[in-house]
Amino acid sequence: MTMQAEGAPKRSLASRMGGFGSSMRGKFLDGVDTFGAMAILAVGSLRFLSTDIIGRKFSWREFFDQCWFMTRVAFLPTVLVAIPFGIIIAVQVGAVAQQIGAVSFTGAVNGIGILRQAAPLVTSLLMAGAVGSAICAQLGAQTVREEVDAMKVMGLNPVQRIVAPRVAAAMVVGFVLNIVVAVTAMMTGYILNVGGGLVSSGAYLQSFVSFAQPTDLLLAEGKAVLFGFLATIVAAHKGLNAKGGPKGVADAVNQCVVIAVIVLSVVNVAITQGYVMLVPTRIA
C-alpha cells in the first residue's frame, strides 16, 4: 500500500468536482465553437453556390467529377444495404399482417415504411459513412499538405473552390441514392410477399397506391438532399481543420463519421415528427 508523501497537498472532493465541471464546460464551449464554424461554412457554401451559378463562375467540371466520385464510392454499398433492409421490413410486416388478418394492407405498410423511413435512413448512413468519409479524407490530405494554405496565398477561397462543388454534388447524389434505395427495397419486399404467396400482386400494389401520397416522395427526397448537404458540411469542416499529418486526417475522418451519423439521425427524427404532425394521413 502506497502512503501519501508527507506534506503533499490533498485534493478535496469539491476541487475534484470543480475540475470535472471545468472539463465539461470546456467541452461544451468547444462544441458550440464547432457548431458555429459549421454553420458559417454552410452559409458560405450556399452563398457561393447561388452567386457562382447565377454569375456563371461555378466550377462545373469539379461538380461532375465529384458526382462521379461519390456515385462510384456509394452506389454498390447502397444497393447491398438496401436489399437487407427490404427483406427485414417485408418479413416483419408480413408476419404481423398474417397475425392480425390484414394481409391485404401489406403493400401499403411495406411501401410507405420504406419510402418515408428506410430509404432516407439508409441514404443518411451511406452519405455519412461512404461519401462523408471520402470527402473528409480528400480535404484533410490537402490541408496537411498545405495545399489549402497555398490556395489562400494565391487569393482563392477554399470554400468557393473545393467545398461548394462538393456540397452541390452531394445533394444531387443523395437525391439519386434515395431513389435507388427506395426502388431496391420496395422491389425486394414485393418479390418476398408476392413471390412467397402471402398476397396477390394486384392487392399488394392497390393497397400501396390507396394509402401513399405524393408528399411521401417529397419528404423522402427532401430528406436525402438535406442529408447530403449536412454530411458534406460536417466532412468539409473536419477535413479543412485536420492537423498532425496522416494521424490527424484519420482522426478527422473518424470524428466526421460519428458526428454526421448523429446529426443526420437527429434531423431525420425531427423532420419525421414534423411531417406526421402537419400532414394528415390519407384514408383510402
pLDDT, tens digit, 9 for 90 and up, residues 32-41: 787 888 888 8
Q: What is the dihedral of CA 34, 35, 41, 43, to 10 degrees?
A: -160
Residue tagged 481543420 (cell numbers):
241
CA atoms within 13 A on the CB side of 60: 5
Nearest alpha carbon to residue 263 among 22, 20, 23, 42: 42
Question: What letter would DSSP give residue 162?
Answer: I
Which amino acid, one-letter code, is at 88? Answer: I
Cα 126 to the center of its chain, rounded Å: 7
Note the pLDDT tens digit of each residue in 66-110. 899 888 888 888 888 888 888 888 888 777 777 777 777 788 888
Q: Is 46 exposed, middle or buried (0-12, 13-18, 19+ CB in 10 A)?
A: middle
- Name the nearest CA neighbour of 240 among 38, 27, 32: 38
CA distance 43 to 71: 25
By residue count, the chain amounts to 284
Q: How far apart are CA 83 and CA 184, in angstroms?
A: 6
Query: What is the predicted pLDDT for the residue at 234?
Result: 92
Provide mean pLDDT across the span 157-176: 89
Q: What is the pLDDT of residue 3?
A: 45
Residue 284, pLDDT > 80, answer no
Q: Is the pTM of this model over 0.85?
A: no
